[in-house]
Amino acid sequence: MERLRGRGTVSLAACGVVMLLLLLAEVASVRYIVGGNMGWSNNVNYTIWAQGKHFYNGDWLFFVYDRNQMNVLEVNKTDYETCNSDHPRHNWTGGAGRDVVPLNVTRHYYFISGKGFCYNSMKVAIRVENPPPPPVASPVKSAAPPFMTLRAQIVVPAVFAIAAVWDSFLGLW
C-alpha cells in the first residue's frame, strides 16, 4: 500500500505543477520596449511601431532613452496632437532613462517627449483593451458505438482497480 500512496502523491504534485504552469501562461503579461531595438528616440515612427500590436490590460511599456536629452510624459489627446507638454497627466521620467509604465487601465494612452522632440514625431498613442476570453472548447462527439462507451466507463477502471489490488497483494510477499 505504501508504494501506491507514494505514486499518488507524486502524480498529484505533478498535476499541480502542470496546472500552475498553464495558469501562469494564461495570465502572462507582455513588456513592450517602445520603439523596439531603436528605443525612445527621434528616428522612429511610433505610429508604425504600434500598428498591429494589441496592448492588453496588465501589459507594460518599457521606455529606453538618453536621460540627458529626453523624457516620457503622458498627456491627453489634445496635448498629444499639439505636442503640448505644459500639463502632463503623468511624468514617467525616472531619471535613469529606463522607465516602465504599467498599462493597468483599459483606455487610450498618449505619450510624448516634452523637450521639443515631440515635433519630430517622438510620440506614441496606444489603446489598451481587456484581454480576449480564452477559447471555448467545442464538445467532443464520440464516434464509438454505445457498448464501447460502457466499456470505457466501467471495464477499463475495473481492470485498473484489479491491477492495483493485485500489485498490493504481491507487495506483501
- Pairing state of beta strands 90-91 and 55-56? unpaired
Phi/psi region, residue 57 (left: phi>0; alpha: psi -120 to 50; beta: rest), is beta
Task: Please report which helix (H) or strand (E) contains residue 4, including its range.
Answer: helix 2-26
Per-residue pLDDT of 1-23, as tens digits, reads: 444 444 444 444 444 444 444 44
Per-residue pLDDT of 19-73, as tens digits, reads: 444 444 445 789 999 999 999 998 899 999 999 999 999 999 999 999 899 999 9
Q: How far is CA 147 from CA 143, 144, 152, 161, in A?
A: 12, 8, 9, 20
Is the CATH number of domain 28-129 2.60.40.420?
yes
Phi/psi region, residue 58 (left: phi>0; alpha: psi -120 to 50; beta: rest), is left
What is d(CA 48, CA 41) in angstroms, rounded to the nearest whole number?
14
What residues does each domain of the chain span? 28-129, 144-173
Q: What pLDDT sits at residue 113?
A: 95
Residue written as grid cell 480576449: 132
Grid coordinates given for 109: 494612452
Higher pLDDT among residues 105 and 134, named by residue: 105
Per-residue pLDDT of 70-121, as tens digits, reads: 999 999 999 999 999 999 999 999 878 999 999 999 999 999 999 889 998 9
Q: What pLDDT sits at residue 17?
A: 44
Q: Is the pLDDT of residue 151 over 60?
A: no
Q: What pLDDT sits at residue 145?
A: 61
Give the number of residues written for the chain.
Answer: 173
Order the strands of the 55-56 sheet from edge to edge. 55-56, 123-129, 108-112, 73-75, 90-91
Grid coordinates given for 173: 510477499
- Pairing state of beta strands 55-56 and 31-33? unpaired
